[in-house]
């Protein structure tokens, strides 16, 4: 990762503009992408960040100079690049986004045919090397054209969840000045919802902070607004809306873990027996639901490249990570922030239960800590110290970091891919006090 340029990460390119990522590097990456993957036509879009258009222009110029035709999607969400690449049969796509990073960042998230990811083990390292060496193999003069894909994208969403399956619901939609407002303005007229639309204006200056609803300060405004009136539920999206987050009718924020169970339930109610991929951080609730509804539960290391590959190899219908990434076979195994919104609304419509009632039993059955992050000097030595203390009598798994399971509680501890941070998740079988105690106990060792 980042052997030649610090902006190159495991799954994408991401860095501070203009020191780590700038038009010159974007141009080189365009040339290198063309040489490495040999595409004919590539679609490119960007989110609301102010540096998006100039990075697009440079990346597109690199592709054009290698003889590649560029389809300009304009201001879109990440899932729309996935959609356009696969739906129209383009040879590749690139989304210019830094997701939930601070405003001074931007990035390039690239895919190949069928929106398969380009990550460090599927071409990104080679693209970095080519961008560094600049020994270009292809030359030419590709074309550029604009394409508005919003109408086709909305039709695609409504094929997955037809409006006829939805009841009139009152919903708060908070996009935090990100890109999702543009898509929702096209989608919402087709839905039987009464919505309050919060911070719908796309604004790359981030006047209300970076839209990242995993942070308490980012969701505080939505919660305050929900408490002023009666809503069936609330949804908040991050800046490029590949993740969405839910609030129940009492404005309680719902951990992504329980939404994985909810979406699995929503799909298995319609079609029992489907394959459901889940990550090792928090598992018991998902396993319970999948077993109860005769699904196939498939464990996979977290990270979008791993989940997408596992879903393809297992022919799974859905994959969910507790970090609010939700992947769908019907969306070319890619993550979407719009499909979960529709599926949760469908479940509320069909069951007649509130969102709080739908997740309430899950929260009671399997209380969890949520992800607790700690900065550490040495991830490996912390993992070793924790394993030394807890290994005895526990069932150990190393699929993703360290998981240890006991009859009444379990935890997962894993290092970050990108920073000196270790991430802890704890859950218990129906014992909230035990969950709190074990979380504190583990943190005292991790932060010692």
The residues annotated with a catalytic role in the active site are: 99
Measure CA of the first residue to CA of the last residue in the chain; give whole Å: 29
Cis peptide before 18 (omega within 30 of 0): yes
Return left, alpha or beta for 335; rule: phi > 0 is left, psi -120 to 50 is alpha, else beta.
Answer: beta
The position carrying tokens 């035709």 is 69
SS3 30: helix
Tokens, residue 197 = 């639309």
User: With contact defined as beta carbons under 8 Å apart, do 220 and 174 qualify?
Assistant: no
* Alpha-carbon span 271 to 294, nearest angstrom: 10
User: With contact defined as beta carbons under 8 Å apart, do 29 and 117 qualify?
Assistant: no
What b/e sequence results for 343-358 when a residue is b if at least 16 CB atoms lie within 10 Å of its CB, and e otherwise? bbbbbbbeeeeebbeb
User: With contact defined as beta carbons under 8 Å apart, do 47 and 54 qualify?
Assistant: no
Contacts of 10 (CB under 8 A, 6+ apart): 1, 119, 120, 124, 303, 305, 417, 418
Contacts of 25 (CB under 8 A, 6+ apart): 5, 7, 131
SS3 144: strand
């Amino acid at each position: 990762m980042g052997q030649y340029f610090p902006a190159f990460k495991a799954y994408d390119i991401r860095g501070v503009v203009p020191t780590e990522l700038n038009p010159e590097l974007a141009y080189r990456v365009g040339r290198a992408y063309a040489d490495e993957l040999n595409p004919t036509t590539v679609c490119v879009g960007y989110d609301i960040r102010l540096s998006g258009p100039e990075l697009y222009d440079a990346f597109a110029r690199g592709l054009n100079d290698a003889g590649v035709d560029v389809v300009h999607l304009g201001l879109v969400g990440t899932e729309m690049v996935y959609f356009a690449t696969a739906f129209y049969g383009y040879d590749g796509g690139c989304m210019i986004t830094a997701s939930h990073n601070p405003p001074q960042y931007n990035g390039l998230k690239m895919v190949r045919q069928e929106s398969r990811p380009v990550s460090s083990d599927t071409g990104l390292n080679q693209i970095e090397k080519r961008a560094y060496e600049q020994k270009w193999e292809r030359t030419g003069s590709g074309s550029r054209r604009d394409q508005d894909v919003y109408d086709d994208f909305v039709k695609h969403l409504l094929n997955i969840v037809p409006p006829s399956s939805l009841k009139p619901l009152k919903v708060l939609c908070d996009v935090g000045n990100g890109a999702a407002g543009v898509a929702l303005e096209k989608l919402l007229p087709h839905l039987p919802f009464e919505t309050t639309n919060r911070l719908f204006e796309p604004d790359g200056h981030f006047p209300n902070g970076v839209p990242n609803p995993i942070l308490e300060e980012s969701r505080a405004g939505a919660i305050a607004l929900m408490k002023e009136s009666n809503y069936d539920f609330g949804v908040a999206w991050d800046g490029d809306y590949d993740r969405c987050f839910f609030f129940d009718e009492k404005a309680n924020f719902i951990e992504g873990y329980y939404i994985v169970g909810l979406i699995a339930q929503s799909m298995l109610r319609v079609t029992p027996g489907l394959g459901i991929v889940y990550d090792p951080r928090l598992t018991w609730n998902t396993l319970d639901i999948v077993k109860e509804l005769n699904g196939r539960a498939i464990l996979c290391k977290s990270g979008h490249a791993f989940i997408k590959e596992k879903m393809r190899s297992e022919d799974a219908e859905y994959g969910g990570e507790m970090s609010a990434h939700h992947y769908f076979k019907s969306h070319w195994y890619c993550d979407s922030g719009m499909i979960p919104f529709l599926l949760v609304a469908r479940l509320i419509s069909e069951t007649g239960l509130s969102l709080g009632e739908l997740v309430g039993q899950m929260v009671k059955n399997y209380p969890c800590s949520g992800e607790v992050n700690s900065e550490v000097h040495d991830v490996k030595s912390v993992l070793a110290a924790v394993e030394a203390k807890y290994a005895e009598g526990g069932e150990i798994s190393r699929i993703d970091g360290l998981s240890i399971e006991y009859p009444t509680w379990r935890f997962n501890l894993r290092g970050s891919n990108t920073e000196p941070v270790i991430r802890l998740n704890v859950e218990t079988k129906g014992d909230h006090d035990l969950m709190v105690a074990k979380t504190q106990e583990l943190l005292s060792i991790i932060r010692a």
